[in-house]
């Protein structure tokens, strides 16, 4: 009898000890959130919008949202390599090959705003009040005379892609301009870093309005908005999920859930309201309901600039999610 009691005591002690160790070292299974890796353009991240989205999204889904901030070019490269589950970017010219080369699916336009050309308060190139293309021409002329400087992202980001489009529209070759290093400087930084460098050098640059407003409000820059709200400066943001047939390990369902949240009434209101209290205006504008209108000139401009063959996502890349496009 004593032996039985002794064995029982030892056994119970062992169980308690093992259970305690298992709890401490995490051996027993625990409820863990699934991970969703998102590579994103720096403008969405630097403004703080994605932090707000992350906080709310994670209360609705058992998902750990992991955000990686890069320029659009690098954000797309991470997705091509299967290192993230989805991307949030703003360069239609780069997004189309991402779809057609079967790296991405389920593209959905979520927001828009406008790029702006900013520069020193004194505006030595005298561009304020001009059209965008006239302003860029005058900046080149003044730069070649040693009167002004231009700071480019130089990083294959969405903003850089827009800059190159604009130089082409005024018949300047970007490859030639970047060789004129006495006035044309490549920052090779995110948008925030580029703005700070341009401010330090009293230079002109192109920026998304969201990052400009956040940095200007924080007193980090002394640049003035000189050209803005022009159709050719339209800036459109899209969510694209990594193709699950190319990278089978990616979290397709999690990415679709985030896309659905971003285009929901709640997500769109969150995007539209962000920045109003702090900056007196929205940093980004919701795009979903706007694109449902057939007679709105701005909706027409977005379709012209950011649709592919008449669709934000051609049917062959919708990957079994047609309800996203109802």
What the chain holds in terms of domains, given with CATH numbers, is: 34-113+235-325 (3.40.190.10), 114-232 (3.40.190.10)
Alpha carbon distances (Å) from 123 to 32, 131, 148: 55, 15, 9
At residue 293 the predicted structure's pLDDT band, cuts being 50, 70 and 90, is: confident
At residue 214 the predicted structure's pLDDT band, cuts being 50, 70 and 90, is: confident
DSSP 202: T
Q: Which residues pair with 88 in a beta bridge?
A: 40, 239
Please check the confidence at residue 11 and state whether its pLDDT lies above 90. no
Please check the confidence at residue 162 and state whether its pLDDT lies above 90. yes
DSSP 243: P
CA distance 149 to 140: 9
CA distance 270 to 246: 32
Alpha carbon distances (Å) from 51 to 56, 67, 202, 274: 9, 9, 31, 11
* Structure token digits, residue 149: 């400087």
Please check the confidence at residue 183 and state whether its pLDDT lies above 50. yes
CA distance 277 to 269: 14
- The pLDDT value given to residue 294: 78
CA distance 41 to 214: 15
H/E stretch holding 206 reads strand 205-208
> What average pLDDT does the segment 303-314 reach?
96
Provide the 3-class DSSP secondary structure of residue 264.
coil
Please check the confidence at residue 313 and state whether its pLDDT lies above 50. yes
Range of lowest pLDDT (1-10, 31-40, 188-197, 297-306): 1-10
CA distance 255 to 269: 20
CA distance 235 to 222: 23
- The pLDDT value given to residue 280: 87
Alpha carbon distances (Å) from 299 to 111, 250, 293, 295, 302: 12, 33, 7, 8, 5
- The pLDDT value given to residue 271: 97
Please check the confidence at residue 4 and state whether its pLDDT lies above 90. no
At residue 31 the predicted structure's pLDDT band, cuts being 50, 70 and 90, is: low
pTM of the model: 0.85
CA distance 43 to 49: 9
């Amino acid at each position: 009898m004593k032996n039985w009691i002794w064995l029982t005591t030892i056994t119970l002690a062992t169980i308690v000890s093992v259970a305690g160790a298992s709890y401490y070292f995490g051996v027993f299974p625990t409820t863990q959130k699934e991970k969703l890796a998102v590579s994103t353009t720096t403008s969405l991240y630097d403004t703080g919008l994605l932090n707000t989205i992350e906080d709310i999204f994670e209360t609705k889904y058992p998902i750990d949202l992991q955000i990686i901030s890069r320029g659009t070019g690098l954000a797309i490269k991470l997705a091509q390599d299967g290192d993230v589950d989805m991307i949030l970017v703003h360069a239609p010219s780069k997004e189309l090959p991402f779809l057609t080369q079967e790296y991405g699916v389920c593209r959905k336009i979520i927001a828009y705003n406008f790029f702006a050309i900013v520069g020193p308060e004194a505006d030595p190139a005298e561009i304020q009040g001009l059209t965008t293309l006239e302003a860029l021409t005058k900046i080149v002329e003044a730069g070649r005379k040693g009167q002004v400087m231009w700071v480019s992202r130089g990083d294959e980001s969405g903003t850089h892609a827009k800059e190159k489009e604009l130089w082409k529209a005024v018949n300047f070759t970007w490859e030639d301009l970047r060789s004129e290093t006495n006035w044309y400087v490549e920052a090779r930084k995110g948008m925030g870093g580029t703005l700070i460098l341009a401010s330090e050098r009293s230079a002109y640059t192109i920026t998304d309005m969201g990052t400009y407003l956040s940095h200007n409000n924080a007193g980090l820059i002394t640049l003035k908005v000189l050209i803005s709200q022009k159709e050719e400066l339209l800036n459109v943001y899209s969510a694209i999920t990594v193709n699950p047939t190319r990278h089978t390990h990616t979290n397709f369902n999690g990415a679709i859930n985030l896309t659905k949240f971003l285009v929901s009434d709640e997500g769109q209101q969150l995007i539209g309201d962000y920045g109003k209290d702090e900056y007196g205006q929205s940093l980004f504008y919701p795009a979903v309901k706007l694109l449902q209108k057939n007679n709105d000139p701005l909706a027409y401009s977005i379709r012209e600039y950011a649709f592919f063959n008449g669709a934000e996502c051609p049917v062959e890349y919708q990957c079994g999610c047609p309800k996203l496009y109802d």
